[in-house]
Amino acid sequence: MPKNPVVILTALNLEYQAMRQKLSRPQVHRHKRGTRFEVGTVQGTSCRIVLGLTNKGNQSAAVIAERAIQEFSPVALLFVGVAGALWGTARLGDVVMASHVYAYHGGTSEDDGLKARPRVWETAHGISQLGSHLARVDDWADDMPGREHVPQVRFGAIAAGEVVQNSRISAEARWIRQHYNDALAIEMEAAGIAQAGHLNGAPVAIIRGISDRADGTKSSANDRNWQPQAAANAAAFATRLAVELVAEQEQIAMSEAEQPQTGGGTQEHVSNTAHNSTIGIMAGSVKESSVFMNAAPKATGPTDLIADLDSFREHMARHHLDGSLDGDTYQEALVELRSARQAASENTAEASKTTTMALKRLRGLIADSPELTARLAPMVVAAGNLS
């Protein structure tokens, strides 16, 4: 059975406590750089949760998210807490799960004004589908007493910036309305979390309870009333989502274990996760609805893996030359590939972990290229099997 946990991060202690109440016997796990996580199990399930606190802001959130992914190799990373509603769409207490995240502060200042330079990350398809399913089932909040109304789960864009937004008429409010008017909620950490997940190949979900309207009506008195309720609602939905994610992984592992071994061809690794689905059959790979033949074979040792990594570099170079891999992504991918190759040559348990994480970050960088992703998949598995 998979032992990988779900990592859940929050920005505020109030949000952290709402999540911690869902865990049975949480134990402290100290990162070597001082970050404290707590690891516990959702009561009545086999779902392990790693809980961490990032503090406010996209930069802090990105650093702690990167640290958590490196330390725990999670099934998924969930960011859970409260947010302000935009345009009056969501009610106080409702939960918003991001379909995509905007980093709304990106722009360029020119003589004729400030021009938007949007940055956006989409939620992994599998997690998005599972979240929609749970919202339709609508039993995730049944154990929450004292609710003024039944909270709804809404799906849409979340805007993430660097300031607390509480106005309808400020320059920042007008900017968001002009360039990001489909956003349902606004907060200060989702962009950092999304970027960390993207670079590390980790599925990410942003789940926010609506605690205010970000329109000038936000106040300390209202926060004392609505923040605990919104945080509790977000924690309840995130817990249910985490339990279902782990259950899916266990079902996949059982299905793979029960499959009979057949001859007459090379049976490649089968991976079907919420973030990425790559299936190897015979001498090819299937990704989504496309089939790529002659995918890289599964390496059996450090020498084989290094040779496959060298071959993969040539494939990346060809994609760069034909324009399907942009220059910045290509250079970042080369850095991760060199890191993986160097670690693989050391052939130790620690090197195996380093190689695997480098290849997962590489997978995140090339996620828009199904062919490259399919070729990389068996190498990620092989890296994990190095001694």
Q: Determine, yes or no, domain membership for 257.
A: no
Asked if 220 and 344 sit in the same domain, the reply is no
pLDDT 10s digits, 288-299? 444 444 444 444
Asked if 157 and 112 sit in the same domain, the reply is yes
Q: Determine, yes or no, domain membership for 255.
A: no
For the chain, how big is the Rg over CA atoms in Å?
Answer: 22
Asked if 14 and 100 sit in the same domain, the reply is yes
Asked if 231 and 314 sit in the same domain, the reply is no
Final residue belonging to a domain, choices 220, 250, 280: 250
* Nearest CA-CA partner of 301 in 351, 344, 364: 344
- Return the pLDDT at 271: 42
- Return the pLDDT at 323: 80
pLDDT 10s digits, 63-111? 999 999 999 999 999 999 999 999 767 889 999 999 999 999 888 888 8
Tell which wins on pLDDT, 204 or 365.
Answer: 204
Provide mean pLDDT across the span 22-47.
92
- Return the pLDDT at 14: 96
Distance CA 260, CA 254 (A): 12
Share of the chain above pLDDT 70, in %: 84
Cβ–Cβ under 8 Å, residues 223 and 187: no
Asked if 233 and 274 sit in the same domain, the reply is no
Asked if 238 and 358 sit in the same domain, the reply is no
Q: Determine, yes or no, domain membership for 351.
A: yes
pLDDT 10s digits, 318-353? 888 888 888 888 888 898 898 888 888 887 777 788
Q: Is the pLDDT of residue 244 over 80?
A: yes
Asked if 275 and 243 sit in the same domain, the reply is no
Q: What is the CATH number of the domain that holds 53?
A: 3.40.50.1580
Asked if 284 and 328 sit in the same domain, the reply is yes
Asked if 156 and 217 sit in the same domain, the reply is yes
* Nearest CA-CA partner of 86 in 15, 190, 160, 12: 160
Q: Determine, yes or no, domain membership for 171.
A: yes
Number of domains in the chain: 2
- Return the pLDDT at 207: 98
Which pLDDT band holds residue 153 (cuts at 50, 70, 90)? very high
Final residue belonging to a domain, choices 202, 227, 250: 250
Which pLDDT band holds residue 383 (cuts at 50, 70, 90)? confident
Distance CA 381, CA 385 (A): 7
Cβ–Cβ under 8 Å, residues 344 and 334: no
Asked if 119 and 177 sit in the same domain, the reply is yes
Candidate from 97-101, 138-142, 202-206 with smallest mean pLDDT:
138-142
Q: Is the pLDDT of residue 268 over 50?
A: no
Q: Is the pLDDT of residue 281 over 80?
A: no
Q: Phi first, then psi: give them for residue 73, nearest 5 degrees.
A: 45, 60
Tell which wins on pLDDT, 240 or 256.
Answer: 240
Provide mean pLDDT across the span 218-223.
80
**Mean of all residue pLDDT scores within the chain:** 83
Residue type, 374: A
pTM of the full predicted structure?
0.68
Q: Is the pLDDT of residue 272 over 60?
A: no
Domain boundaries, position 226: 6-250
- Return the pLDDT at 251: 79
**Sequence-ordered list of residues with C-beta below 8 angstroms from that of 18, at least 6 positions apart, any chain:** 10, 80, 228, 231, 232, 234, 235
Distance CA 327, CA 338 (A): 17
- Return the pLDDT at 144: 63
Asked if 364 and 321 sit in the same domain, the reply is yes
Q: Is the pLDDT of residue 18 over 70?
A: yes
Provide mean pLDDT across the span 1-9.
81
Q: Determine, yes or no, domain membership for 232.
A: yes
Q: Determine, yes or no, domain membership for 20.
A: yes
Asked if 196 and 97 sit in the same domain, the reply is yes
Which pLDDT band holds residue 371 (cuts at 50, 70, 90)? confident
Provide mean pLDDT across the span 12-35.
94
